[in-house]
Amino acid sequence: MVAAAIIIVMPETMSVERRKLMKGYGAELILTPGADGMKGSIAKAEELVKEKGYFMPMQFENTENPNIHELTTGPEIIAAMNGISKSVDAFVAGVGTGGTLSGIGHALRRENPSTKIFALEPTESPLLKDGKTSKHGIQGIAAGFIPKNLDKDIYDDIITVSTDEAMATAREVAKNEGFLPGISAGANIHGAIEIAKKLGKGHAVVTVVPDGGDRYLSTALFNA
């Protein structure tokens, strides 16, 4: 497969595996100070666009992000649930760019207007819930600002999962289910389990597994 040259700008706090994977595929990496978070990376990328005339996909506000989830991922979930449950009672997803939650949420609501949608964020950085941000260890969600791609009218409630809970769940899934989820996947799974407990037996709760643990081999996920 041939692609255009790409420059990836991301915080230096992102895992080493991510960096090596991207370099392996030929990307140029620019790391920004971890203290500046994702905002710092976005600012650097925008600087490059202004100076060099590069194209920037704008994943936090490009509407093609939620649109593709509404057109593909959502219907895929509905098809997969056919024969398992009459409908999806609840959907849980962490908020990164907002595209997954918004797009899938709209698809599920169109199929079943009573489906409950839950936005998930780190306990340490409850921006949506309490308007507060802080450092956390769930890479890929909670960038420190509310993305334009997040439809705040689509979710019914906000739940929080701590970094420790996300990592512990990821480890348990790896041991008991035979696949290796990443930290944000652990957060989603933990959140979905908690919602399932509240709803009780006979309810179908769905989430997504957005990352694999192979991207976190050098992190605290495997140092416990």
If DSSP states are collapsed to H, E and C, what string results for the chain? Answer: CCCCCCEEEEECCCCHHHHHHHHHCCCEEEEECHHHHHHHHHHHHHHHHHHHCCCCCCCCCCCHHHHHHHHHHHHHHHHHHCCCCCCCCEEEEECCCCHHHHHHHHHHHHHCCCCEEEEEEECCCCHHHHCCCCCCCCCCCCCCCCCCCCCCCCCCEEEEECHHHHHHHHHHHHHHHCCCECHHHHHHHHHHHHHHHHHCCCCCEECCCCCEHHHCCCCHHHCC
| pLDDT 10s digits, 48-91 | 999 999 999 999 999 999 999 999 999 999 999 987 878 899 99
* Beta-bridge mates of residue 157: 118
Check residue 2 and give its pLDDT: 64
pLDDT of 86 reads 81
Report pLDDT for 224.
60
Tally of CB atoms within 10 A around 16: 12
Segments of the chain with pLDDT less than 50: none
Same domain, 73 and 43: no
pLDDT at 213: 93
Is the domain of 68 the same as that of 91? yes
Q: Are residues 125 and 191 in the same domain?
A: yes
Token pair 């399932």 is at which residue? Answer: 196
Residues 110 and 185 in one domain: yes
Classify residue 154: in a domain, yes or no.
yes
Half-sphere exposure of 92 (CA within 13 A, CB side): 25
Give the predicted TM-score (pTM) of the model: 0.92
- Looking at the structure of the chain, the number of domains it has is 2
Let me know whether 127 and 26 are in one domain: no
In a domain, 92, yes or no: yes
**Token pair of 174, please?**
């790896």
Q: Clarify whether residues 74 and 170 are in a common domain.
A: yes
Inside any domain, residue 57: no
Q: Which residue has the tokens 């019914």?
A: 156
CATH code of the domain covering residue 22: 3.40.50.1100
User: What is the domain extent for residue 13?
Assistant: 7-52
173 falls within a domain? yes
- Predicted local distance difference test score (pLDDT) of residue 137: 95
In a domain? residue 220: no
Are 126 and 171 members of one domain? yes
In the sheet that holds 116-122, the strands lie side by side as: 157-161, 116-122, 90-94, 205-206
Q: Are 23 and 84 contained in the same domain? A: no
